[in-house]
Amino acid sequence: MLIKALRLGLGELVILGDLLTRPRKMRRAPEQQAAVASAAGQLALYQFRACPFCVRTRRTIHKLNLPIELRDAKNNSEHRQALEQGGGRIKVPCLRIEENGETRWMYESKDIISYLNQRFA
């Protein structure tokens, strides 16, 4: 019970630190932002709210000004089940990418951040 309380407290500190130090959003021309929004509509991030790796990934999404749907795989049983069935395991963060009629599941925050920077920066 003590460990659970400690983990919850540390998770809230991670979230608070993120809110206090969040980077500025990238600015784009309206037509560029519309194109980015259209492309990002094919992406969804499965995540836990207080996971430090998920926070790191969400910071990049915020910085790149990407309207990517965030799916809570911890508290939403439908999202958790979709992650397990589609990606093969319950591990976060996981980026669901739909391209050319195919679905890919990308794990590892470093890989996701690299992918987002290459595609949208």
Share of the chain above pLDDT 70, in %: 100
DSSP H helical ranges for the chain: 2-21, 30-40, 52-63, 77-87, 109-120
Of 72 and 10, the one with more pLDDT: 72
Q: What is the CATH number of the domain that holds 102?
A: 3.40.30.10
Compute the distance between CA of residue 107 and CA of residue 97 in angstroms, rounded to an integer: 11
CA dihedral 16, 108, 99, 35 (to 10 degrees): 30
Residue 9's pLDDT is: 82
Query: How confident is the model over 45-73, as a mean pLDDT?
Result: 96
More confident site: 56 or 11: 56
Structurally, the chain folds into a number of domains equal to 1
User: Residue 105: pLDDT above 90?
Assistant: yes
pLDDT in tens, 13-38: 888 888 888 889 999 999 999 999 99
List the domain range (segments joined by +) for residue 17: 2-120
For residue 19, what pLDDT is reported? 83
Residue keyed to tokens 């990407």: 66
Mean pLDDT of the residues in the chain: 93
Residue 3 has which token pair? 């460990």
Flag the least confident range among 1-10, 55-64, 103-112.
1-10
CA distance 90 to 15: 21
- The pLDDT assigned to 18 comes to 82
